[in-house]
Amino acid sequence: MPRSLRPMTIHPITTRTLEVLRVADVTPGMRRITLGGPGLRAHTAANGYPVEEIHCDGFDDHCKFILRHPDLPADAPTPAPTQADGVLNWPTDELAVNRSYTIRKWRPDAGDHGEIDVDFVRHGVGPATRWAYTVQPGERIQIAGPKACALQPEGADWLLIGGDETALPAIGRWLEEMSPDTRGQVFIEVDRDDHIQDLDHPVGVEVTWLPRNGAEAGTTTALYDAITGCEWWDGRVFAWVAAETLTLVPIRRWLRREKSLPREQVDISGY
Ligand SMILES: Cc1cc2nc3c(=O)[nH]c(=O)nc-3n(C[C@H](O)[C@H](O)[C@H](O)COP(=O)(O)OP(=O)(O)OC[C@H]3O[C@@H](n4cnc5c(N)ncnc54)[C@H](O)[C@@H]3O)c2cc1C
């Protein structure tokens, strides 16, 4: 039995520097940064190692953004990984910072070199959010990955999908890329009503938005209540849930213990 109904490919890890092409707000709570430039294509790194073309076929493929720690002196370089032979040498500096983000869209044929979109939730004052909400077109950013690429599940009769706003880029991409005959129930927690997005999805997929209306992320049971209260359809389900780690503990327990779902039908990730 496979570990998951999702076929998985592992690519050699790469690091590359991209150009910020466009910046746009999808909603007041989500900023879309479009990245491109020759760094997306196969090339040779400054240290002579080959860097493969970027691959992002999976709806939740993610990469790490290499960011500046706020305590770094202005004249200090950003600690960053360097390319080696199919692996990366990561900096051990305690002021090295990276954060994971989903590739919301990959357009390999756009422009001269292709484009990727990455959607950043507006929250807190962390280095990634600060970067996304101050960066301008023309600036450059280093990323690492994606490495693992898991495709859509095969052999499921219906999908049970849940997530908070950090999972919304993956869920939005999945909804757009699903086959038109997909059946499923999707529950998405967002901060406020005006953070709800207009997402394309198959007619057999029901999307329910769960605005927290002022409550802190990770402090409500809205996602758990919606998932455990869903109508349990006949057939083989595949469940995918991504959110803040503490939110996931009771959801994972319910899916695995109460609903007795085997490991290959459950994909749960702490974002
Ligand atoms: C595989 C993966 C894919 C991800 N994809 C995306 C994506 O596409 N878009 C996206 O926006 N995020 C995504 N995330 C989540 C993102 O990596 C984290 O939210 C990250 O910590 C943000 O970094 P930061 O530097 O802005 O804030 P941090 O320095 O990490 O945190 C600063 C403060 O921000 C607040 N904060 C941080 N994370 C959250 C949160 N999840 N919810 C509410 N408040 C928070 C807290 O107050 C925290 O103290 C993903 C995470 C993973 C593991």
As given in the structure block, the two tokens for residue 166 are 């950090």
- What is residue 270's predicted lDDT score, i.e. its pLDDT? 97
The pLDDT of residue 49 is above 80? yes
Atom of ligand 1 nearest to the CA of 124: 34
Q: Which residue's alpha carbon is nearest to atom 39 within ligand 1?
A: 123
Residue 58: CB within 6 Å of ligand 1? no
Q: Sorting pLDDT into bands at 50, 70 and 90, what band is 217?
A: confident
Residue 120: CB within 6 Å of ligand 1? yes
Residue 268: CB within 6 Å of ligand 1? no
Map residue 90 onto helix, strand or coil: coil
Residue 147: CB within 6 Å of ligand 1? no
Q: How far apart are CA 12 and CA 45, in angstroms?
A: 14
For the stretch 106-154, pLDDT in tens is: 999 999 999 999 999 998 789 999 999 999 999 999 999 999 999 999 9
For the stretch 239-251, pLDDT in tens is: 999 999 999 999 9
Task: Tell me the whole-structure pTM to 2 decimals.
Answer: 0.96
Q: How far apart are CA 13 and CA 31, in angstroms?
A: 26
Residue 271: CB within 6 Å of ligand 1? yes
The pLDDT of residue 214 is above 90? no
Core vs surface per residue 164-193: b (16+ CB within 10 A) or e: bbbbbbbbbbbbeebeeebbbbbbbbbbee
- Residue 115's DSSP bridge partners are 36, 107
For the stretch 144-203, pLDDT in tens is: 999 999 999 999 999 999 999 999 999 999 999 999 999 999 999 999 999 999 999 999
Q: How far apart are CA 200 and CA 96, in angstroms?
A: 38
Distance 149 CA to ligand 1 centre (A): 21
